[in-house]
A = this chain, B = another copy of it.
């Protein structure tokens, strides 16, 4: 494990955070935005929207309480020539049961998903209820041909890696499904590769299968069958099984796994900074020199906690639909939402959905050819 190179690491973070603004200007894309989703909605959403209209060529379709959003946009100084409002009289509460939430067909989320499905926008961005987003998107937007299950993917920071200047990797599925077949895991790999190649600028992202050990024989039937299928996929740079410790080390660019496994891993990963810091605070107060050191380091520790705070990383794509869907963290502030919008536009420009479709179709053909 090589020590992190500070300059490259910082540069990569800034590049990621900036959402490649230079490229964003190359072509106009329309992003449908759920104006009422998220803990800080609608204010943070409107603030992000206003900044986007002033600083990029991305066009927005803002869905939600029309009169309210209109007033907020005026105050935020948005460039109204680059943003359309679509009124939705209802909104999905953050904590609502997804099965209830999907009944709200006049909610901002439903209206935004329908607009994307109808071709009025190229992608959907929301910081709302995750389960409701999965269900509303599934109801409105078709899945890519051949794909049985969509996947929720998490972008997370790893230790610096020699082969990839971006200190981020992708883990999927992190909870859209409770069970997966081997074929689903191969589809997840195609989704992850297409998304990662578009966002992280690694031409050929490496893929690993999360398992109990590195040997091909490890795991249950599903994982063993997925290993065999992935190893036989020429379009996937498959590096075999990876273990729990390889997640943070960034052993590969894309890790595929069944949803329960990914969900537990992601939530454990998210608690990491808090746990180490809380244990540290207890240790560090035991000696005077340590207390002094802790005081001098306070800014550095805050910076470190920010680095392992996953809420600042733009958003989790829900992949497998014919359109890009980005679920930003519920706690997203305006900057995180801005980032999510830029990432969505970037994924649209890179034709992530088309690439996924091509990969999945090639996999289906190779399976047919191999069938007896």
Contact = CB atoms under 8 A, between A and B. Distances in A.
Contacts of A14: none
Contacts of A265: 244, 264-265, 268
Given A244-B265, A271-B248, A272-B275, A285 B210 contact: no
A148 B201 CA distance: 49
Please tell me how many copies of the chain the complex holds: 2
Interface stretch (A191-199, A302-310, A355-363): A302-310
Contacts of A67: none
Query: How would you classify the secondary structure of chain A's contact residues: helix, strand, loop or mixed?
Result: helix
Given A223-B260, A245-B267, A260-B212, A299 B279 contact: no
Contact of A244 (B263, B274, B282): B263
A297 B293 contact: yes
Interface in A290-316: 290, 292-301, 303-304, 307-308
A4 interface: yes
A248 B223 contact: no
Contacts of A157: 279
Given A4-B282, A265-B268, A268-B245, A297 B297 contact: yes
B296 A292 contact: yes
Contacts of A277: 276
A219 interface: yes
Interface string A206-248: 0000111000001110010000000000000000000111011
Interface of A: 1, 3-6, 9, 157, 159-160, 175, 178-179, 210-212, 218-220, 223, 243-245, 247-249, 257, 259-261, 263-287, 289-290, 292-301, 303-304, 307-308
15 contacts: A4-B279, A175-B212, A178-B220, A244-B263, A244-B266, A245-B270, A272-B276, A276-B308, A279-B307, A284-B300, A286-B300, A287-B300, A290-B299, A292-B293, A293-B293
Given A178-B212, A293-B298, 6 more contacts: A3-B278, A6-B286, A211-B264, A244-B269, A287-B300, A290-B296
